[in-house]
Structure 1
Amino acid sequence: MRPLPGPTWPVRTAVRLTGAALTRLQRRPVAVEARLVHALQLTWAVPPGPARALLPAGLGLDTHRGTDGREWALLAATVAEVEALRPRGTPRSAGRPRHVTVDYRLFATLAVRRGRTVRGMLALAGQSDDPLAVLGANLTSRGGRRRVDARVERTPRRLRISVGSGDGSADLEVVADLDGTARPGTDALPERSVFAGPRTARRFGPLPRTFLPDPAGVVVVEAAPDLPPPAAVAVAVPRATFLEHGPLAGVEHRLSAAFLSVDVDQTWGPGRLHLPTGPDPLETYIGM
C-alpha cells in the first residue's frame, strides 16, 4: 500500500504568511530619521510623453507650462550626504556612519478623494555608497537601490559630488557654488530653466511626500513638513548619465533648478498604503 501524502496546507500557509510578511516589509513599515549634512536636489524638465510612461497605476503627472509655452514634466536627482540613519527613536550611535545617497524621482500627483489630489515625488531608482544602507532600502521598498562609489569635496566656496556607477549608466558629477548663493532668500536659476522665476521654481523643489509603487496601489511616505526652506544655488553638472540610459535616453532635458539644504535633521514616517480603486475614490490608507 502506498503511503498517503502528508497534508500540504501547512506548507501553503507558511508560504502565504512569508509572502505577506515580505510584502508588508517592503511598504516601509518603520519610521526613520537621519541628519542631512548636505542635500542637493537637481531638477530637470523633460517632455511629458516619455515621463508619463514611468507612472504606475494611480498616479498622474505633475507638469509645468514653461516660459516657452510648452508643457514639461519635472524629474529630480537628489544627492545627499547622510549620517546617523536609523529607526526613529533609537540613539544616534545606532545609526549608519556618514554616506552618500542618490535618489531619482518624478514629480507626480495622487488622487485621494473626490476631485482632490496631493503632490509628491515618485521614486524611480536609488543609489548609495553604503552597502548596508543599500540592503536595508531594498528590504523595505521596491525601489531597487544599488551600490555606487561616491566622493564629496567641500570648500567654503564650492561643493563637488561625484558618483560612479561602475557600468556608466548612472554616473553623476555636480559642482555647487556656495559663494554667496547658499543662503535662504537668495535664488539662482540655470540659464535654460523653464521656470519664469524663483517662486515658480520652488514649487518643484524638495517635497515632503514620496510615492512608492506597490502591487496593491501606492505607498506614501511623508517627511517632517516643518523643515527650513532650501536655498537655490548655481550649479554645473558636467555628467549625468542616467539621462542617457533607460526610458529617458535621448529625450530633451533642461536643467531648471537646484536647491541645497545643509545640516538638517530629517524624519520620515512609516509608509501608508493608498488604495486608489473602489466604488468611491476616497482616501484609503492601511496602516503598516
Structure 2
Amino acid sequence: MFSFLKNHPFAVEAFFESSLVLTFAVPKVQLQNLIPECLQLDIFQDEWAFVAVAMVQTKALRPRGFPRVMGNDFCLIGYRVFVRYTNSRGKNLRGLYILKSETDKKKMEFMGNIFTHYKYTTTDINKIEQTNTLEIASIKSKFRMTVGKAEEVPLPEHSPFNDWKEARKFAGPLPFTFTYNPQTKEVLIIEGVRENWIPKPVKVIDYDFEFLRVLNLRNPILANAFIIENIPYYWKKGKTEQWS
C-alpha cells in the first residue's frame, strides 16, 4: 500500500566525515547475473567488471532542508556493482547497483527500509584508528580491513589499472544509483550531488569480506582503494521511468 515510499520520495543530505572504498575487479561474466536486465556492467578493457565495498561515516543525515540538529549520525556499508543505464532519452548514465546495505544503528535500518529499496540490516562495526592506520571490522558480518595512510601509495598488486589516473575512474562516487522493479519494469534513478570530491589513495594492508565469498566470486582482485574526508553530500528525490 505504501510501497511508493521506498522510491526516495524526498531529497536527503548528510556530511561525509569519511568514505573509504575498496574496489575489486572480476571477469565480467561473474557479475552479469547479479544485476537486473535494464542495466549493463561498466566494463574496463572489455574484460573486467567491478564490485566495490564502501564504508561511509555520515553526520547529520536528514531530509534536505531540515535543520542539522534533526539529523543523525550513522556508519553505512554498501556493496555495489559499477553499472550503466541508458535512460528514456537515450542518455548513457554511469552509476551503481546495490547488492547489500548495512548500518551500525537500528534507527537507520528502520528508516532506510521505509524510504529505500536497499534492504538495510544492522551489524556491529568496530573501528580502531591509529596515527597511520585505520582498522574496521565486524564480527556479525565477518569482515575486516586495515588500511594505511601514506604520501606515496602504489596500486594494489595485480590491479588491472596501469596507473591511479585510470583507477580514479572506478573510485566513485558515480552520479547515479539504480533500482529495478521486474514486475512493473520500472527503473528508479537516484542522483547524488557533492562538491570537492578528491579521493586519496590508501594502502590496503589486509582485508577479508565474507560477503564476497557469498557472491561466489572467484579470486576477486583488489583494483583500487580510496578515501575521501569532510564532504557535504545530498541525494535528489528519486525519479522513476519505464524500461522496455
Whether TM-score is above 0.5 comes out as yes
Partner of 1:107: 82
Secondary structure in 1 aligned to 2:113? helix
The one of 130, 148, 151 aligned to 1:155: 130
In the alignment, structure 1 segments of 5+ residues that lack a partner are 1-18, 182-186, 278-288
Please tell me the root mean square deviation across aligned C-alpha atoms, in Å: 1.7
Partner of 1:15: none
User: Which whole-Å deviations, capped at 9, do the CAs of 1:144-203 have from their partners, x for residues lacking one?
Assistant: 111100012222312211123x2xxx422122212325xxxxx54211211111111111
Superposed displacement of residue 275, structure 1: 1.8
Partner of 1:193: 159
Q: Distance in 1 between matches of 2:26 and 2:6?
A: 30
Does the 8 A contact of 1:38 with 1:260 survive in 2? yes
Partner of 2:145: 174
Does the 8 A contact of 1:61 with 1:73 survive in 2? yes
User: Structure 1 residues 250 and 112, CA, compared in 2 at 3 Å: closer, same or farther?
Assistant: closer
Structure 1 segments, 4+ long, off by >3 Å, are: 113-116
The one of 29, 50, 54 aligned to 1:74: 50
Superposed displacement of residue 116, structure 1: 3.8
Partner of 2:222: 255
Q: Distance in 2 between matches of 1:191 and 1:50?
A: 21
Paired AA for residue 222 in structure 2: L
Structure whose residues are more often strand by fraction? 2
Q: Distance in 1 between matches of 2:175 and 2:135?
A: 25
User: Structure 1 residues 28 and 73, CA, compared in 2 at 3 Å: closer, same or farther?
Assistant: same
1:264 matches 2:235: no
1:230 matches 2:210: no
What is the total number of aligned residue pairs between the two structures? Answer: 241
Q: Distance in 2 between matches of 1:188 and 1:276?
A: 42
Q: Distance in 1 between matches of 2:196 and 2:154?
A: 20
Does the 8 A contact of 1:134 with 1:146 survive in 2? yes
In the alignment, structure 2 segments of 5+ residues that lack a partner are none
Superposed displacement of residue 250, structure 1: 4.6
Identity between Structure 1 and Structure 2 (%): 29
Paired AA for residue 41 in structure 1: V
Normalization by structure 2: what TM-score? 0.92
Partner of 1:129: 104
Q: Distance in 1 between matches of 2:137 and 2:217?
A: 22
Does the 8 A contact of 1:47 with 1:252 survive in 2? no
1:274 matches 2:214: no
Secondary structure in 1 aligned to 2:29? helix
Paired AA for residue 223 in structure 1: G
User: Which whole-Å deviations, capped at 9, do the CAs of 1:123-144 have from their partners, x for residues lacking one?
Assistant: 1110001110011111112221
Q: Distance in 2 between matches of 1:157 and 1:218?
A: 43
Superposed displacement of residue 114, structure 1: 6.4
